[in-house]
Chain A
């Protein structure tokens, strides 16, 4: 088990990027999503500051993935609004939201299996006006796949695919990165690799919203944790308080704490 001290993220103050006070990047206002009679997300007021790594936890069916899909525009809200960088995203189609500076990595790996690692990175990268050669080399290095640049993505291990996915999202140089369970099904070493990758991107000023079940991983990367339960925000506090909170343990951590 890697201890939290191994990971440089922990030493970073949450608002390091701005230096002073809160500078809200993402905010939701009374965000609600109904599926028929079921309210998956219920009047959520939620915000993230620039330079934060925020983890979103909660039991199955709490509305975590729905909230993420509302932010990316895969789903449109029944009520409420989403603001990003002071701009109202609510009516914007998904591909336009990406252009405002949001990148996303969904839960199950969705690399282009029939393309090489390099081609996988080229797809998002060619949309930007960044220097393809340079960013490609940098990203391959960052996700430790430089030797596998010309390997077919279908030949990668699960952990490598997850790293490649994050690399693909990173090439867009987003302000805010949304990660849905980035370490699901990974070994301890692979988990530590991802934590380090997130840490180094965070050092460069990237803001993260991470949906995660693995509390060990949450401990490695995050200070502020938001707990979602039955579509509403249940608690929002530093990781230590969340872990000590009896109610949170009862609804969520009970089964694996």
Chain B
């Protein structure tokens, strides 16, 4: 514990780092932050070193990373496994499309962004309210959220007829909603249209800010409350915590994160279809987060990039058979991780690092008495 509480005893750097560090995240050291800064700088330089197609593909991974963060946050930190984060992602994507198509000005797109995130968030809040105040827990939450996604999948798939339209925006059934506008920043008719590199940088910046914000949140008092709920709900309630309310807040924040991803996703492809609510897509966030590490925000982002990069590479590299192989590999990866590193890649690496450091200290003959069980 820090016994140097006087702010004068700490450097400016320490004070800036403090809110982002704590027991609930990996990487609480200067080397970690340097590494992160280098990685972000490399990502910022990436569009200059590669072709536009790769940049566009990378933007897609970034949009999906919000979905991963949303699940990582609620599952890893509050123990609520939702199999239907894609529902909030997809609802926000459709809402962005419907509003954006109808109000096709820069201001209109701005309104669509805010409204779509609000719709996705409110949807999560409503579902969360009925689940958590209704006493739905554990695997039942998982099943119920999946069912919500599948119901939306079935519903949206039958909206092919022309009667299924919101103003000028046709829902489009299986074929989906097309002509969704690009993200646009500005007031009035014209504005700065974010596509290609613009969208890439907007996504990168939003992702970095979101990541830092979530780090601060999970290391705050509220983060400790989330972890307490995850570890033992009943015990946490006996300290006077309103557990359903805590879960509702967490679930709503998770819904908002998924909605942000959905808005980016819809504007990235100018298109959204019911497969975002399908079981194959619904399973992906669970795979990304399981592989990267439930309790590691950075792990979730990294695993999303890696797995999606692999999937894209296989399907574009060896044709349609590649996407079949990608499914097999993703499934195998999930099984492998669950069997051999159940905490996920990043927490396992962190543990190995700690163990190596402890062993190093012991061998150098220091007086620390860290006894690590050897497995």
Contacts and interface: CB of A to CB of B under 8 A. Distances in A.
Nearest to A112: B231
Contacts of A116: 23
Contacts of A95: 237, 240-243
Given A98-B240, A172-B239, A110 B1 contact: no
A251 interface: no
A94 B237 contact: yes
Contacts of A18: none
Contact of A123 (B23, B239, B243): B239
A133 B234 contact: no
Interface in B220-246: 221, 224-225, 227-228, 231-232, 234-243
Interface in A101-123: 103-104, 106, 110-116, 118-119, 122-123
Given A95-B243, A118-B1, A150-B1, A123 B238 contact: no
A118 B238 CA distance: 18
B370 to A, nearest CB: 11
Interface string A82-110: 00000000000111101100011010001
A119 B240 contact: no
Nearest to A120: B228
Contacts of B45: none
B1 A98 contact: no
Nearest to A113: B231
A126 B235 contact: no
Interface string A180-197: 000000000000000000
A98 B228 contact: no
Contacts of B225: 123, 126
Contacts of A149: 1
A172 B23 CA distance: 23
Contacts of A98: 238-240
Contacts of B224: 119, 122-123, 126
Contacts of A162: none
Interface residues of B, number: 20
A249 interface: no
A112 B300 CA distance: 25
B230 to A, nearest CB: 9
A168 B234 contact: no
A196 to B, nearest CB: 24
A124 interface: yes
A5 to B, nearest CB: 35
B238 A94 contact: yes
Interface in B1-25: 1, 5, 23
B1 A104 contact: no
Interface string B293-318: 00000000000000000000000000
A127 interface: yes
Contact of B227 (A110, A115, A150, A168): A115
A117 B236 CA distance: 15
A112 B239 contact: no
Nearest to A99: B240
B242 A110 contact: no
A111 B238 CA distance: 12
B14 to A, nearest CB: 18
Given A123-B224, A133-B5, A168 B239 contact: yes
A226 interface: no
B166 to A, nearest CB: 41
Nearest to A110: B235
A115 B231 contact: yes
A116 B22 CA distance: 13
A124 B243 CA distance: 13
A72 interface: yes
A172 B239 CA distance: 8
Interface string A153-180: 0000000000000001100100000000
B232 A127 contact: no
A127 B238 contact: no
Contacts of A113: 231
A74 to B, nearest CB: 8
B81 to A, nearest CB: 17
Contact of A72 (B235, B236, B238): B238
A146 B35 CA distance: 36
Contacts of A118: 1
Contacts of A127: 239-241
A123 B5 contact: no
A118 B241 CA distance: 18
B234 A110 contact: yes
Contacts of A114: 231
A112 B237 CA distance: 13
Contact of B23 (A96, A110, A119): A119
A150 B2 CA distance: 12
A193 B194 CA distance: 67
21 contacts: A72-B238, A93-B242, A94-B237, A94-B238, A95-B241, A104-B238, A106-B235, A112-B227, A112-B235, A113-B231, A115-B23, A115-B228, A116-B23, A123-B236, A123-B239, A124-B239, A127-B240, A149-B1, A150-B1, A168-B239, A172-B239
